[in-house]
Structure 1
Amino acid sequence: MNILEERLSPEVLAEARNLAASILDPNTATRSEIWKSVWDKPLYANTKVTTAHRWIKEIEPFRDEALLSWGERDGELYIEKIGPGTKRDSFRISGRASNELLSRTQVARHRLFGIQGAAVAMRAMPYDAPFERLAAQPLDLAISNIQRAYGGGWGPISVLHALTDLGLAVKPDIHLVRSARAIGLLENCHVSVKPDFKQLLEINRRVGLLCHEKFGDRSGRNLRYLDKVLMEISRCGMLTD
């Protein structure tokens, strides 16, 4: 892996180091700090990163208010799930900010519902270090607890994406899995095109072992750096050589 890492551009490596340096400490990060890091993760699920970034730009003006009142009947935005699945008609949107929000973006309502669910759950958590307890839990339990609290729109991958910014996990997207397989990290480990829960945990376990082998520890910063580097090795096309 070190050889592939050295072939990444200085800009990519600098970005990886910056991401590693900017992770939140789950033992001390406040509710508002964590919210600014995790709120947008439902926008990345099953879509292109460029599309997710466009959506984020469109609805970021509502981010702080979302934490304060989304999901309350008398709040700025209230989304009800009134039908099955994720189709548009399965959700009803109301609230003082609903018209402005819908005029700004075409983000699917089930994604907005996921953001709302996270906001409701975050308001129920302590303001000071709400993730401290989760950080001490085994990864499988932490994922399950967050999914249960946040509700619809928060699959295991979205939760892992959120935990990545806290240095608690890696996000096993298609690029990280390709790189991990190419360097032999997934030897004797079957990983589906869409990894199941058990496979996601195993990938995280093996990347954690690689992190300890490479850096001598499994600190949050080193794990975040490794997550970015593994993703970029594949995304930059290095595995086609």
Structure 2
Amino acid sequence: MINVVVCGALGKMGRIMVDEIAGDPELSLAGAVEAPGHPGLGSKIGGVAVTADLAAAAKLADVVVDFTNPAAAIAAIEAAAAAGKAAISGATGFTAEQLASAKKAGAAIPLIISPNMSAGVNLLFKVVADVARALPDFDVEIVEMHHNKKKDSPSGTAAKLAGVVAEARPGSSVIHGREGILGPRPPAEIAVHALRGGDVVGEHAIVFAGEGERFELGHRAHSRRTFARGALRAIRFIHGKKPGFYTMADVLGLA
């Protein structure tokens, strides 16, 4: 049995994680954490009381799972590291500095940080890299759409897709949206466009546009359970692993 502590347990993803853990015979909910001052502190979810004592909760875990925000994710990783436990974060919106801090905090433990834990999206990352290398002269445009409550823009997944293309094409530059009289599109440009509206869980499209043809790839998430089930796979993968930074590509055997 793998003991799991969920940080952000009363959020949308946290509640789904708790529900998915309850239905998995190999996993047990050992703790549920929320921010200090949260109105749900002391209530129960999945049979455990919600607490703000992250350090104490981490000691009960084999794996600490976080679906919050970058600052809270770093705190969760630090608590897991202090307790010598593995950690997984699905938070999005990390700056480069925050991501570096998170990796530094988790240097002594098994750690996964992923903007998207969907199996399909992580396969998409791999395919996009292959296409970007195979079609070096094609313009690349990335369009993402999410619900109107999403706080960060662009999505972590769109930012990752842009990074995948940029890595495959050294010398590329990433821009976000366009406005005004800009002149011809620079060939090394990777453009990211963010749409917000309704209750869209998550949609990403990558357009490779060449002379006389266009190649498109995309992914649509219909339920947040897609991300939670990816996280369950990550929990099983990381449990018992040696300290190090792992990715969802490792989890899915795509690395």
- TM-score, length-normalised on structure 1? 0.30
Q: Counting strand residues as a fraction of each chain, which structure ranks higher?
A: 2
Q: Counting helix residues as a fraction of each chain, which structure ranks higher?
A: 1
- TM-score, length-normalised on structure 2? 0.29
Question: Which of structures 1 and 2 has the larger relative contact order (alpha carbons within 8 angstroms, sep 6+)?
Answer: 1
